[in-house]
Structure 1
Amino acid sequence: MSRPQRRFLALFLVVLIPCAILLGWMARAQPRAPATATDEVARRAPPPVPVVLATSVEKLDTARLEVLGSGLAARSVTVYPAVAGEVVQVGFRAGQRVRKDEVLLRLQDRAQRLAVDLAAARLEAARRLMARYESTRGTGAVPGSVIDEAQSGVELAGIALRQAREDLADRVVLAPFAGVVGIAAVETGDRVDPDTAITTLDDRRTLQVAFVLPEVYAARLKIGQTVRVTNPAFAGRDFPGRIDEIDSRIDADSRNLRLRARVPNPDDLLRPGMSFTVQLDLAGARYVAVPELALQWGRDGAYVWTVVDGRAAQVLVRSVRRVDEQILLEGPLPAGAPVVVEGVQRLRAGRTVAAVNPVAASAPAPAAAASR
């Protein structure tokens, strides 16, 4: 580079550097445009709170009850003889299933058979006499009064025969209905009378289970309502049934209502006298239900967090009861509203939220008196 060129470059740098410094200072001194109100609010607003939501649902309040009951046969009797006498035959074994009118017991009946034969002979004689008198009717050989007396004799002899046959039938004890007989209480040769119990007879094709419930449930019970019964002898097995009888009044001492449920017993597994646990569900009112985690407690009582227009809103509620990991609520919270189940610690009324799992865009605004 020649000497004149070096002198020109030095002069150029001496002029350029001060100009660059001056321009930089002027740029920093230039006033900035003021920020808008929206930008200021956005800069100062806290970030949305991340939350996990669930949806409130309408749920029927079903009361699940468990009470103790006792088994009864559908029909059950203790068998007695109609008359006194000596036992000549016991016609059953304990646990035997018998048909209706099957012979259970016979008593000595020699005298009664003779009485039947005698009554039959007297009736036959009365009929023959009446036939002779009838053959003379209209001839005047036999007065009408004698004929009438003979007719009465026939009728009386017939009544005597029927009575003798009834006495003979009373010497046999028959099953009043089909069922299962119990242990015999008498043996051949025993003398019995109408107060002597012979055995028991149970119709076990269906069983009745007797139980009681508090009066508070009386209005929610009806004939035909389904029940389930269990017994320790059959662990893990339910026997279905239906309410068959409801008493007409509440017991004044216990304030309980007596009921009976009919339970089919086709396999003959259940026995009268067994203890049972009776389970039944009683339908009640409808409520809004939320997960247990959604219910919070504060100074004013129970509440839940919901989301209205993307912001948290606190709704006061009343807890009714717990059902299947949900809480039934009374209050202004509608069914189908989003409720916060996780992230409630950082929530404040009006705070914006960011749903991790958005289940609903927003809930209807709750009543002013119940939310804050």
Structure 2
Amino acid sequence: MKRFISITAILLLLALVCVGVVGFNLFRDNAIKQYFATMKPPATTVSTVVVKPSDWTPGVEAIGTVRAVRGVDLTVETTGIVKDILFHANQKVPVDSVLLQLDDAVERADLVAAKAQSVSDKTALERALELQRRGVGTDATLDTAQAAASASAAQVNKLQAVLDQKQLTAPFAGTVGIPKIDLGQYLSPGNAVVTLQDLDTMRVDFSVPEQQLPLLKIGQAVRLGLGGTGGGADMPFAGSIRGIDPKIDASSRLVSVRGEVANPDGKLTPGQFVQVRVELPQEKNILSLPQTALTSSLYGDFVFVVVPAKPAEGAPAAKPVEKPAAGADAAKPAADAKPAGAKPAAEDAAAKPADKPAVDPAAEPEKPALVLSQVFVKPGRRNDGMVEIIEGIKAGDEVVTAGQNRLFNGMSVAVDNTIDPSKSANQQAQK
């Protein structure tokens, strides 16, 4: 009998253990489910910008090529051997300065002989004129003397011109390039010697679509930026339109435009690739956003707008908890029993200001939770890192400007605008 009771007790104990284990597992699983059901991921930090109407300067943007207003590759006009090179690379030369001297010994000797013959013929002409004046000379003798004097003078001028061709001079003031010849080299007419460029004023040639042709006019402001400066944000060179081609290219439907830009520091070089922007009249009250705020997808362009969470989505705000003032007696009975000799209540209140209830800082009202709302927009023109928004948002909306690749609609976020992603790191550091 005792053995039966022992076995029964052991079985009951095992059953209780099994029930406890199963109950604990069910309780644990239920608690885990409730924990994950009520758990919310931490808010993601984003940068935002508040949409405000602003002034907008539209423009026509294109790619252009820089050329010097005056630039030429100098060549020689006659044959000869290089005797002297009178310039060096990147030298600024004045107008009519001699750059190259060819061997001219033969031409100089011929010129000396021609000048001597010209003097002799001129003397013969004077003698013939004197005889004609005295009446002893014939007309034929005078005509011959005049013809000989004219021919010798023309020969002198011809040899002087040939002698001048042995020198290469600068047709205008500018900067010369690298010499393409050497001393002792034999040159023929057309051989390139050096390039000469006037770098003080540059011209830029670019093309725009025919749809934008009505927006352009002579004298309109033009700005240039170097290709590697980061787009239209840095365009330090200012100029104006000097010419618009009246004919549109039938194959490309583009029209050629030429502008002129001052280049006092010589930073622009002929043949250089530049970004061109023709500035149009300024417009007011335009809604624009940094281009980093706009996201493109197969369904359209959209932005994320930060809005307060609905009451069901956010945690209820905690009410401020009032604490009794310091020095108050917590165990004081409801009926104030003043000890003997205590001052009346009116005198006590006049002697000591009423204590105000202190508010616990930890229990101050929390800021409303913020969530994201995905809004599809219609973008317009772009300029200087900004994009015009035609439809979809209104003034006062707070739009996310960074981190869109990890955001989704309805996501909880926290705003931190200590860093502006639309500006470079150097601009941030200068603040």
Indicate the TM-score class for this superposition, using the shorter chain for normalisation.
0.5 to 0.7
Write the distance in 1 (CA, Å) between the matches of 2:395 and 2:265: 52
Residue 60 of structure 1 deviates from its aligned partner by 9.2
Q: Which amino acid aligns with 2:246?
A: S
Aligned residue number for residue 230 of structure 1: 225
Partner of 2:242: 244
Residue in 2 that maps onto 1:265 = 263
SS at match of 2:197: strand
What is the one-letter code of the residue matched to 1:88?
K
CA contact (8 A) 2:101 2:168 kept: yes
Q: Deviations over 1:305-325 (max 9, x none)?
A: xxxxxxxxxxxxxx8946767
Which residue is equivalent to 2:82? 87
3-state SS of 2:171 partner: coil
CA spacing shift, 1:234–1:202, aligned 2, 3 Å = farther
Residue number in structure 2 paired with 1:73: 68
Alpha-carbon distance, 1:290 to partner: 6.6
**Distance in structure 1 (CA, Å) of the matches to 2:395 and 2:137:** 114
Q: Which among 263, 271, 274 is matched to residue 272 of structure 2?
A: 274
Contact 1:103 1:172 in 2 (8 A): yes
**Deviation (angstroms), 1:65:** 2.9
Any idea what SS the aligned residue of 1:248 has? Answer: coil
In the alignment, is residue 119 of structure 1 matched against residue 114 of structure 2?
yes
**CA contact 2:381–2:388 (8 Å) conserved in 1:** yes
Residue type at the aligned position of 1:269: K
Q: What is the match of residue 201 of structure 1?
A: 196
8 A contact 1:105–1:174 mirrored in 2: yes
User: Cα gap change, 1:260/1:287 in structure 2, threshold over 3 Å: closer, same or farther?
Assistant: same
Name the counterpart of 1:179. Answer: 174
After superposition, the Cα gap between the structure-2 partners of 1:111 and 1:233, relative to the gap in structure 1 and judged at 3 Å, is: farther
Residues 208, 255 of structure 2: 8 Å contact kept: yes
CA contact (8 A) 1:287 1:328 kept: no
Structure 1: how far apart are the matches of 2:90 and 2:144?
Answer: 56
CA distance in 2, matches of 1:87, 1:244: 41
Matches of 1:288 and 1:241, distance apart in 2: 28
Cα distance in 1 between the residues matched to 2:172 and 2:245: 26
Residue of structure 2 in register with 1:159 after alignment: 154
Cα deviations across residues 107-163 of structure 1 (Å, max 9, x unaligned)? 010111011111111111011111112222244422112112111211111111111
Tell me how far apart the structure 1 counterparts of residues 200 and 164 of structure 2 sit (CA, whole Å): 29
The Cα of 1:282 is off from its aligned counterpart by 3.1
Q: CA RMSD in A?
A: 3.1
Report the number of matched residues.
253
Shift in Å at residue 261 of structure 1? Answer: 1.5
Q: Which residue number in structure 2 is paired with residue 220 of structure 1?
A: 215
Q: Call closer, same or farther: CA 1:290–1:245 in 2, change over 3 Å.
A: closer
CA contact (8 A) 1:220 1:283 kept: no
Amino acid across the alignment from 1:105: L
Contact 1:291–1:341 (8 Å) recurs in 2: no
Query: Partner of 1:148 in structure 2?
Result: 143
Which letter does structure 1 place at the counterpart of 2:128? Y
Is the partner of 1:250 in helix, strand or coil? coil
Change (3 A) 1:253 1:136: same
Provide the TM-score with structure 2 as the length reference: 0.53
What fraction of aligned residue pairs are identical, expressed as a percent?
Answer: 30
Distance 1:326 1:183, change over 3 A: closer
C-alpha distance 138-240 of structure 1, shift in aligned 2 (>3 A): closer
Distance 1:133-1:326 versus aligned 2 partners, 3 A rule: closer
Q: In structure 1, what residue type is equivalent to 2:96?
A: D
Q: Aligned to 1:249, what secondary structure does the other structure show?
A: coil
Q: Which has the higher strand share?
A: 1
CA contact (8 A) 1:60 1:283 kept: no
1:234 Cα shift? 5.9
The offset of 1:92, in angstroms, is 0.7
Which residue of 186, 189, 198 corresponds with 1:191? 186
Residue 108 and residue 233 in structure 1: after superposition, are their counterparts in 2 closer, same or farther (change >3 A)?
Answer: farther
Distance across 2 between alignment mates of 1:340 and 1:187: 70
Any stretches of 5+ residues in structure 1 without a counterpart?
1-55, 293-318, 330-338, 343-372
Q: Which runs of 5+ in 2 are unaligned?
A: 1-51, 290-377, 398-431
Q: How does 1:94-109 map to 2 (within 5 A)?
A: 94-109=89-104
Equivalences for residues 15-34 of structure 1 within 5 A: none
